[in-house]
Amino acid sequence: MVTVKQVEDDNLVSKGAIPEQLKCPQFCFQDIRIPLYRFSSQSLLDDSPFEGHVCITEDEQSALDSLLLALWEDKMWKGVLRYDVTTSEIKVIFGKRKFIAQLNERLGMDYVPKPEPDKICGQGNLSEFQWTKHQEEFLFYVACGEMAISELIPSAAMPDGALLIIINEIPVEYGHVFLVPCGSDSLAQVLDTKSLEMVARFAVEINNCSFRLFYDCPTAGTSHRYFEACYFPSPLPVELTPVDTFFHEGQRGMRISAVTDFPIKTLLFESNKKFKRMVEVLVEICCQLQEKSIPYNLLISDSGKKIFLFLQMQNMANSGTLSAWECGGYFLFQSRSEFDQATEETMLNKLRDVSLDDEGFQVVKELCCSIADKFVA
Amino acid sequence: MESQLNFNIENSFDSRYSFCARQELDELPYSFTITDPTICGHPIVFASKGFLKVFGYSKDEVVGKNGRVFQGPKTDRKSVMEIREAIREERSMQINLLNYRKDGTPFWMLFHLSPVFSKEDGRVIHFVGVQVPISPPRRPRWSASGVVRNGANMCEEGDRVCGNTNIMFGSCRREVCSDTPVELSRVLGLLASESVLDDSSRGLGIEETCEASNLEKQKAEVAINKIFSVLTRHSELTGRFVCAERHSLPGAGILSSALNISLGRIKQSFVLTDPHLPDMPIVYASDAFLRLTGYAKDEVLERNCRFLSGADTDFSTLYQIKESIQTEQACTVRILNYRKDKSSFWNYLHISPVRNASGKVAYFVGVQIEEGCKNQDRNGLCPEMRHRSVVGAVKVAVRSLSMGAGPSRS
């Protein structure tokens, strides 16, 4: 359930949001008033198990899900998107892995769309012109709230520490958005606990099993920090692959598992309880991976219950790193012939080529155990 | 509304197999449920006596609920997902699953899921789920004789012991009571409350997967066959034949179970129409649509939406709708519609094409909002946004259709 504040209440909200505190340089959000979704004060990330959360019923679309879909579809109807992604053909590639292929001839020159948030919250200089251009891509803010239940405020300025949800005008799938943490440390180059917690909570609250969140670690020389999300028509192959658990914290605590027999080295993090701690552990692991120059990606699925960590090879000479959905087994093709000829073997090789090696994987697993032990102790 | 739902649930079973089938199914010594994926929330429409006994619920506490209420914090999410996938693909599957009884105690069972098909049009009518409790791995101190002594009903084969559920639990309890807490919890986690074991059993608890033996797998097969034999026999009495194998491909205009389940989560008034069928009939109508218009589901399915129009409906608006459908464009209109009881209302209607995995238009979705209706959307969205939100959710649900899945993972 969600309460709805009428527009008159907006002032109450904006008091909490002091533009000077927004450390997105060269960019002032104060005049951008868009809907604000505030999480309830009940934190499902502390100690409470997922099941006990009052807002979550699986039989019904959640308020956050309705909001995101409504705003996204609205932008599509208004022509903000470059194309209708639902006209792109998708298929399951023949084989036991069930890799998924999409034919998207309008994706443009970039295999993976270059995200715009670089310019928004990064260090780029944004002119007034671009600012107005981007405004129509803004969907809504998400922030923490103090109410007992989540609420939607139809129009508000950005509160500190909010996530800004921006539409991707060149979507990879339906509902493709960027989630940009905006606030005091939004320029940090590494993943931080607060942001990961916010997006994980977003996944929990949206409560739609088709919805998936992604994070690609920044490649050397770039500075960006944002997440991506979209609705996928079916589970990604990695989600259907067996795992081997090697770290276990009690009966209900954090579990870290290695995904077995998958072409790219992958770890799975799950926790029924003490979710916050798992996020802290994961962030610490990601920071160390970045220090070791091991490229990684995150995939949050199953309404926030599962977080996959893909481990790629450092400094690939010729090819770039793969995006999180590619690691998960979802591939985009720009030409009909490539799409038609895609085989499981090519996809396997594509993933194997960028994967961390066995030796490196062992080191990462040990690293995970030692970090997890440290937090558990 | 509540009574309508209850009626749907009872009717789902009785209209297909007749009331007498209930009694016959209850005489079977198995734990199983029958669910209906075409009703919102994919509820249980029948639960066997054996099931109620094993899980400790009364019939009324279970019928109408979704099977996931028996899952708990330690139920493996991946297994749950595999079940969801099997439902999506409308196929049989067996999996080891941790379920919870009413009193909160978890136990391992072999879950066998099988779709029930309509012989006539090949669509999935129900799913049968059989639960065979898995007996714990044999430990050296459990001599076979020790177990057998507890129950005459128990059968023994290979290296595993199984039998009537209740007796099995009883026997475990007795055999294990002298074990250490660690081993105790390892057995089934049934005996002591979780809090007692939480720390001492770290890593060894109930989450350790219990594998079903071949015997248990066979048992599940036998149960499924017996259940199907009752169901098919009784479906002959009602003339609405069912079968365990799909004899014909689902006919035109029939939605998959997965799509029915996804659409059931959308609580607003909307219909899906199939433009590939003659006269573009309704193939899905939400419960809210039925409430709004006063019709029953079978009074609207397979009919063209024009029954909503009446004497004072504006022809130019109807023309506008027709045109947008022909050009595969979305449109929003205000149209005078009529309920079953002939009363009229202004319908703020949005129509949009919806595409499947091939990128082609599979359906049109029509979202109805009664104008001047005071009940504001509980999510606080304005009427336009409510339209969009339904269209978005339907697009996501339909996008996976006809993805042409390759051979299933084997």
Report the gap between the CA of B237 and the closest CA in chain A (Å): 34
Q: Which chain A residues have a beta carbon less than 8 Å from that of B389?
A: 61, 66-67, 69-70, 73
Neighbours of A188 (CB within 10 A): 12
- Asked whether the beta carbons of residue B396 and residue A2 sit closer than 8 angstroms, the reply is no
Question: Using the 8-state DSSP alphabet, how is residue A61 labeled?
Answer: -
Q: What is the pLDDT of residue B69?
A: 85
Determine, for residues A66 and B391 on separate chains, whether the beta-carbon distance falls below 8 Å.
no
Share of chain B above pLDDT 70, in %: 76
Distances (CA, A) of B388 to A65, A67, B58, B106, B362: 12, 9, 41, 42, 18
What average pLDDT does range A51-58 have in this prediction?
48
φ, ψ for residue A270 (rounded to 5)? -140, 150
Task: Choose, out of A1, A86, A102, the residue to mutate when testing the contact with B (most B CBs < 10 Å).
Answer: A86
Which residues of A fall within a CB distance of 8 Å from B351?
Answer: none
Q: Do B81 and A240 touch (CB under 8 A)?
A: yes
In a mutational test of the B interface, the residue from A234, A344, A373 whose CB has the highest number of chain B CBs within 10 Å is A234
Overall average pLDDT of the B304-331 stretch: 93
Query: How much is the CA Rg of chain A, to the nearest whole Å?
Result: 20
- From chain B, the residues in CB contact with A243 under 8 A are 78
Contact A188, A225 (CB under 8 A): yes
Q: Is the pLDDT of residue B110 over 80?
A: yes
What is the structure's pLDDT at B380? Answer: 76
Please provide the average confidence, as pLDDT, over all residues in chain A: 79
Query: Which residue among B77, B388, B389 places its CB closest to the CB of A302?
Result: B77
pLDDT tens, B179-193? 333 333 333 333 333
Q: A with B: how many residue pairs have Cβ under 8 Å apart?
A: 159
Given this model, what pLDDT does residue B199 score?
A: 35
Q: Compute the distance between CA of residue B384 and CA of residue A77 in angstroms, rounded to an integer.
A: 11
Task: Give the CATH architecture of domain A4-376.
Answer: 2-Layer Sandwich (3.30)
Nearest by CB to B357, which of A73, A233, A270? Answer: A233
What ipTM did this prediction achieve?
0.85
Is B196 an 8 Å CB contact of chain A? no
Other CB atoms within 10 A of residue B15 CB = 11
Over range A218-236, report the average pLDDT.
80
Say if B321 is an interface residue toward chain A (CB within 8 Å).
no
Q: What percentage of chain B carries pLDDT values higher than 90? A: 37
Mean pLDDT of A337-363: 93
Label residue A105 by pLDDT band (50, 70, 90).
confident
Q: How far is B186 from chain A (nearest CA, A)?
A: 12
- A119, A137 contact by CB (below 8 A): no
The pTM of this model reads 0.75
CA distance A45 to chain B (A): 15
pLDDT greater at residue B277 or residue A107 = B277
Q: For residue B207, what are its two tokens?
A: 């989450």
| CB nearest B406 (choices: A86, A95, A208) | A95
Distance CA A89, CA A102 (A): 6
> Which residues in chain B are contacts of A92 at CB distance < 8 A?
403-406
Residue in B with minimal Cα distance to A102? B357
pLDDT tens digit string along B225-243?
Answer: 899 889 988 888 888 888 8
Dist CA B51 CA B101 (whole Å)? 10
The answer, yes or no, to whether residue A100 has pLDDT greater than 60, is yes
Whether A167 shows a pLDDT value over 50: the answer reads: yes
Instruction: Check whether A41 has a pLDDT greater than 90.
Output: no
Go through B74-99 and write b for each residue having 16 or more CB atoms within 10 A of its CB, e for each that does not.
Answer: bbbbbbbbbbbbbbbebeebbbbbbb
Contact (CB<8Å) B72/A51:
yes
Could B66 and A58 be called an inter-chain contact, meaning their C-beta atoms sit closer than 8 Å?
Answer: yes
Q: How confident is the model at residue A288 (pLDDT cuts 50, 70, 90)?
A: very high
Q: What is the pLDDT of residue A220?
A: 63
**Which of B80, B186, B388, B401 to substitute to test the interface with A, most A CBs within 10 Å?**
B388
Q: How far is B205 from chain A (nearest CA, A)?
A: 7
- Round to whole Å and give the CA distance between B211 and A300: 29
Interval A221-235 mean pLDDT: 81
Name the band, by pLDDT with cuts 50, 70 and 90, for residue B5: confident
**Rounded to a whole number, what is the distance in Å from the CA of B105 to chain A's nearest CA?**
14
Helix H or strand E encompassing A281 = helix A275-291
Nearest of A250, A230, A169, A202 to residue A63 by alpha carbon: A202
Please report the pLDDT score of residue A58 as a whole number: 64
Judged against a pLDDT cut of 70, whether residue B303 lies above it is answered with yes
**pLDDT for the residue B300:** 94
Q: Nearest residue of A to residue B68 by CA position?
A: A58
CB nearest B267 (choices: A1, A2, A60): A60
Cross-chain Cβ contact B206/A69 below 8 Å:
no
Residue A232, classed as helix, strand or coil, is coil
At A189 the pLDDT is 66
Tell me: the pLDDT tens digits for A249-260?
Answer: 876 688 999 999
Answer yes or no: do A251 and B194 touch at CB < 8 A: yes
**pLDDT value at position A218?**
79
- The answer on pLDDT for B275 being more than 50 is yes
Strands B124-133 and B32-35, bridge-based pairing: antiparallel
Rounded alpha-carbon distances, angstroms, from residue B15 to B24, B90, B238, B242, B360 = 16, 22, 7, 12, 36
Question: Which sequence spans correspond to the domains of chain A?
Answer: 4-376
Q: Say yes or no for a CB contact (<8 Å) between B355 and A86.
A: yes
Rounded to a whole number of angstroms, the distance from the CA of B207 to the nearest CA of chain A is 7
Mean pLDDT of A204-217: 91
The confidence score (pLDDT) of residue B377 equals 64
Q: Cβ–Cβ of A70/B88 closer than 8 Å?
A: no
Q: CB-based contact (8 Å) between B40 and chain A?
A: yes
Q: What is the DSSP letter of A355?
A: B
Integer Cα distance of B153 and A220 in angstroms: 68
Give the pLDDT score at A125: 33
What is residue B179's predicted lDDT score, i.e. its pLDDT?
Answer: 38
SS3 per residue for chain B? CHHHHHHHHHHHHHHHHCCHHHHHHHHCCCCEEEECCCCCCCCEEEECHHHHHHHCCCHHHHCCCCHHHHCCCCCCHHHHHHHHHHHHHCCCEEEEEEEECCCCCEEEEEEEEEEEEECCCCCEEEEEEEEEECCCCCCCCCCHHHHHCCCCCCEEECCEEECCHHHHHHHHHHHHCCCCHHHHHHHCCCCCCHHHHCCCCCCCCCCCCCCCCHHHHHHHHHHHHHHHHHHHHHHHHHCCCEECCCCCCCCCCCCCHHHHHHHHCCCCCEEEECCCCCCCCEEEECHHHHHHHCCCHHHHCCCCHHHHCCCCCCHHHHHHHHHHHHCCCCEEEEEEEECCCCCEEEEEEEEEEEECCCCCEEEEEEEEEECCCCCCCCCCCCHHHHHHHHHHHHHHHHHCCCCCCCCCCC
Return the pLDDT at A361: 95
